[in-house]
Amino acid sequence: MNTLFTNAKIMKTDHANHSFNIVEGSLAVEGNIIKHVGGVPADFKADKTIDCEGNLLMPGFKNAHTHTAMTFLRSFADDMPLQDWLFNQVFPREGQLVEDDIYWLDILGIMEYLTSGITSNFDMYFFPPKNAKASVDCGFRTVQTSGLNNFGGSVEIVEENYNIVNEMSDLTSFIIGFHAEYTTSKELMEGIAGLAQKYKSPCFMHNSETELEVKECIERWGKTPTELTDELGMYEYGGGGYHCVWMSDNDFEIFKKRGLYAVTNPGSNTKLASGIAPIKRYLDEGIKLAVGTDGPASNNCLDMFREMFLMTGLAKIKERDAACVPAEEVLYAATAGGAHCMGLPECDSIEEGKKADLIMIDLMQPNMQPENNTVKNIVYSGSKQNVALTMVDGKVLYERGKFDIGFDPKEIYTKANAIIGRMK
């Protein structure tokens, strides 16, 4: 299937400067690969031609941390103290999930990703092969990691899932990881470090999300979560942490030395009152950044436009500096930064030879006008309403409100309501 986009504005990524420039012209996709950018030879044979009418083609957003299938708990129990929410509302219901539930709940999340221009996710949840299967069936790209902790699973199962998901499809991959220091024994963490080394895999976990988590880790081990996991040998092949809100000076040094990614989740950090991540310092120190929505139970939506505004907005409040964390850095983290973090360098930008994970932004909407600065318009004013089309791996999965993922949306909504209905 070859697709020709005509009359487009096309966003190209300047990786050296974390900036973007926009050219006008056509773009051709051959199979799942971007074949021509800007000018397309007259003899290019397109199965489908899409007239962009002057709208913008740009790289898809990469959701670099989420728990997709938690859709069933969206708006189920909000405005509660964190511990009460987690222990009395979330955990008891997660315990009732069966594998088949995960499949349908994951598809609901994938649908929402597509409406937000997200073309791949870095997902941590129960039954990774089931989540990966849901992605493949929809045509969506996913990177799975393990949420191993003391309450379920084993290092052996993580290894098994690593191999199953990495071999399942070109759309799926698996990176070693576990839940967090505060939920996981040293023995399990050592096992995870061993796996990361055996498979030369990066390693990820929830890291320094709350002040309490860091305090208790220091009480237990005399070290921060970053120090402890580094000493356990987690990061020989890179990786990083989700959240990374409460970081010590030495944590910053370790992130720099190991080339780790700080995956920021500002929506969740806001709603759960966790705090504001030190984004300006990450940028100042050259630490690599990616952006995630976290799961739909804690956010409650899967919307990269919200995350981008919050990533810079919260930094501006924290630093009391309206000039810090410019829009270009945010957009770079939400696209190329995420792709690199997730081991998807072939999906990081619109370039000949890269995979066709791209979106069309409707500029002919009042919130994108006038066109003073398209990058700033997207980061500061963009919304799901502007996502006109989402293409993953060369296939249009979403276009102006319509899904092409092989499922009827109403069937998915019915399934999701039935699953949570069973638990009320």
Residue 76 near a second copy by CB under 8 A: yes
Of 29, 108, 188, 189, the one binding a second copy (CB under 8 A) is 108
Nearest residue (CB) to a second copy, 255 versus 407:
407
Q: Point out which residues pair with 158 in neighbouring strands.
A: none
Of residues 19 through 48, those in contact with a second copy by CB under 8 A are: none
> Could you tell me which of 150, 223, 135 has the C-alpha nearest to residue 192?
150
Of residues 242 through 261, those in contact with a second copy by CB under 8 A are: none
Q: Are strands 203-207 and 172-180 parallel, antiparallel or unpaired?
A: parallel
HSE-up of residue 51 (Cα within 13 Å, Cβ side): 1
Size of the site for a second copy (CB under 8 A): 76
Residue 273 near a second copy by CB under 8 A: yes
Please return the burial class of 194, using the count of CB atoms within 10 Å of its CB with bins 0-12, 13-18 and 19+. middle
Q: How far is the CB of 401 from a second copy (least distance, A)?
A: 8
Of residues 312 through 331, those in contact with a second copy by CB under 8 A are: 312-314, 316-317, 319-327
Handedness of CA 362, 364, 365, 367 (dihedral sign): positive
Of residues 286 through 305, those in contact with a second copy by CB under 8 A are: 296, 299-303, 305
Residue type for 249, please? D
Binding mask 357-386 for a second copy (x = CB under 8 A): -------xxxx-xxxxx--xx--xxxxxx-
Nearest residue (CB) to a second copy, 184 versus 269:
269
Of 72, 204, 246, 261, the one binding a second copy (CB under 8 A) is 72
SS3 content of the chain, % helix, strand, coil (to 5): 40, 25, 35
HSE-up of residue 57 (Cα within 13 Å, Cβ side): 31
Residue 75 near a second copy by CB under 8 A: yes
Nearest residue (CB) to a second copy, 272 versus 391:
272
Nearest residue (CB) to a second copy, 104 versus 252:
104
Residue 103 near a second copy by CB under 8 A: no
Phi, psi angle pair for 342, to nearest 5°: -90, 5
Query: Which one of the spans 72-80, 139-147, 174-182, 213-221 is the region binding a second copy (CB under 8 A)?
Result: 72-80
Q: How far is the CB of 299 from a second copy (least distance, A)?
A: 7
Query: Which one of the spans 26-34, 143-151, 339-347, 409-417 is the region binding a second copy (CB under 8 A)?
Result: 409-417
HSE-up of residue 98 (Cα within 13 Å, Cβ side): 4
Query: Which one of the spans 18-26, 70-78, 192-200, 333-341 is the region binding a second copy (CB under 8 A)?
Result: 70-78
Nearest residue (CB) to a second copy, 30 versus 404:
404
In sequence order, what are the residues at sequence separation of 6 or more whose Cβ sits closer than 8 angstroms to the Cβ of residue 71?
105, 106, 108, 109, 112, 296, 416
Give the Cα separation of 148 and 155 in Å (integer).
8
Classify 244 in phi/psi space as left (phi over 0), alpha (psi -120 to 50) or beta. Answer: left
Residue 59 near a second copy by CB under 8 A: no
Residue 68 near a second copy by CB under 8 A: no
Residue 420 near a second copy by CB under 8 A: yes
Give the Cα separation of 37 and 198 in Å (integer).
40
Residue 347 near a second copy by CB under 8 A: no
Nearest residue (CB) to a second copy, 116 versus 226:
116
In sequence order, what are the residues at sequence separation of 6 or more whose Cβ sits closer than 8 angstroms to the Cβ of residue 274?
209, 210, 243, 245, 268
Of residues 126 through 185, those in contact with a second copy by CB under 8 A are: none
Q: How far is the CB of 229 from a second copy (least distance, A)?
A: 26
Residue 264 near a second copy by CB under 8 A: no
